[in-house]
Structure 1
Amino acid sequence: MTLKEDKKESPLLYILTGATSGLVADSLMHPIDTIRARIQIEKVGKSQYRGTFHALNHIIKNEGASYLYKGFPIVATATVPAHALYFLGYEYSKSLMIDKLGPKWGDSAISHFTAGFIADALGSLVWVPMDIIKQRLQVQTNTQKLNPNQTYYKGSFHAAKVIMKEEGVKGFYRGFMPALLTYGPFVGIYFSVYEKCKSFISSTLHYSPDQYLPIPYQLGSGFFAGAFAAAVTCPLDVIKTRIQVQRSTEKQIYKGMFDSFKTILKEEGPKAFVKGMGTRILWIAPGNALTIASYEQLKYLFKGII
């Protein structure tokens, strides 16, 4: 597939294709995300789940398959604007750096990392409140046992109402910096690796720079980049998740990234920082592969229209 570069791509193209591709991927991968959150909040030595598939079986058997989609309504609502901002931020930042720095530096790994970080910062304005609501619903069965007197969330929008009442707007941005410091590097690494994979495959197959790769290569590049970035940033994700599932009405065990790192290391050891890594990769790698392949294909299909 060859793209004509006779006109500059419209920001609306990035917004619509980004929003659609994000919704498709999140819809399919939400159950794995629920399992990841459950595993990561458990302390080393006190785990009821022996791994991803044991957790899957345990949740279905004891709580029902529908529990795997706890928090999904808020995800479906928020992922559309979040992915729109995300892809708009990435494409615009990348284009701006190429214009200002030239192809050599503007299309380098450092530039892709920077554009990815900016993309995540924009998307996080929507993603962090979504994550707070989603993760608290996903782990509610676990946290309810520890705090039986806390208000039970009946669903995504009830949870949002309770958080606003109990914690105010600040409650929706609990762990914003840990989230940014987790997913900013993740997205930066992801896009750096993804662009390198695409470049390597294109040169191997003798594709010109204005050609889109076939879907299997887009999926493969997205999967590899997602798996690599997910593994590298797993320790940061454990810290972020522990902070975000805390309520302001509870005793604050984790008071910030550095404090959380020290507390987890002291109480549980280094192994705690790789809890849920396999599940995180199973959630992120296919999700990123689906998102980026959908995005690339939709961008190609709608380029001449939008």
Structure 2
Amino acid sequence: MASPLVGCAAVNSLLFWAYSYGKSIQTGSVETTPTLGQIAIAGAGAGIVNSVLASPIELLKVRLQVQNATAAAGNTLFRGPLHLAQHMTRQFGVRSIMWGFWATVAREVPAYAAFYTGFEFTKRRLANVLADGDSSKLGAVPLMCSGSVGGVCYWTACYPLDVIKSRVQNGTVPPRGAGYIARAANDIMKEQGVKGFFRGYTPSVVRSIPAAGVTFATYELVMRALNDTK
């Protein structure tokens, strides 16, 4: 729990900054409403930037989550993310902390394109129904509903890639070569078939409904409060 908990603020700060910056580059102004296509592009770009922090944080998380299962084979039980990070850098070098970086990028690009597009699409539709088309008048509940849709879109767009990423990051040695993502996908297919790419999809989606709902509602309401103080 410590790895995602400590990294959560940094990851979300970087993610939303990159997303806002991506929108402003395309529209030329933060006050111009972007199209859904521009939203998707900004989200994809934010996913790439976000991978710089998300990759090492998730590497430590997924390896700690399975360590009790692998301890029977004589592997070390780690006290937390710092202990694991120290062990990995001693064994594989400093670069090992970015183990699975490109697999993370491959997941984050479609994930955040869908995440932000799903949120904006739902928010705009709800604004048309509840607030005469003005999304700035939406309250916390409609914003949470919009965020929840974004969360479902996130996992639906990327779940097989997330399974591949976790497989790569739980490997016994750091991946090598440009084709390691394809090799991991091939291994999953051989061992488990197509169903292997969707194991755990339902709990991930269920978790995302409150998590993404709260994330987006908090972001929108905090940004409004900050803008009101200018």
TM-score after normalising by structure 1: 0.69
The percent of aligned pairs where both chains have the same amino acid is 24
Aligned to 1:73: 2
Relative contact order, CA 8 A, sep 6+: which one is greater?
A: 1
Aligned to 1:188: 113
1:232 aligns with 2:157: yes
| Paired AA for residue 161 in structure 2 | L
1:297 aligns with 2:221: yes
Superposed counterparts of 1:147-296, under 5 Å: 147-148=73-74, 150-209=75-134, 211-248=136-173, 256-296=180-220
Q: Which has the higher helix share?
A: 2
| Paired AA for residue 83 in structure 1 | N
Q: Structure 2 CA distance, aligned partners of 1:97 and 1:137?
A: 40
Q: Secondary structure at the match of 1:281?
A: helix
Per-residue deviation, 1:210:
6.2
Q: Secondary structure at the match of 1:198?
A: helix
| Paired AA for residue 140 in structure 1 | Q
| Paired AA for residue 142 in structure 2 | Y
Q: Deviations over 1:162-217 (max 9, x none)?
A: 11111222211111111111122111011111111111111122434362411111
Q: Deviations over 1:254-282 (max 9, x none)?
A: x7211111111122111101100011112
Aligned pair count? 227
Per-residue deviation, 1:109:
2.0
Q: Secondary structure at the match of 1:184?
A: helix
Q: Deviations over 1:45-102 (max 9, x none)?
A: xxxxxxxxxxxxxxxxxxxxxxxxxxx22223222222111111011111221118x9
Q: Which runs of 5+ in 2 are unaligned?
A: none
Regions of 4+ moved over 6 Å = none
Q: Contact 2:147/2:213 (CA < 8 Å) preserved in 1?
A: yes
TM-score after normalising by structure 2: 0.90
Superposed counterparts of 1:5-44, under 5 Å: none
Superposed counterparts of 1:111-150, under 5 Å: 111-145=38-72, 147-148=73-74, 150=75
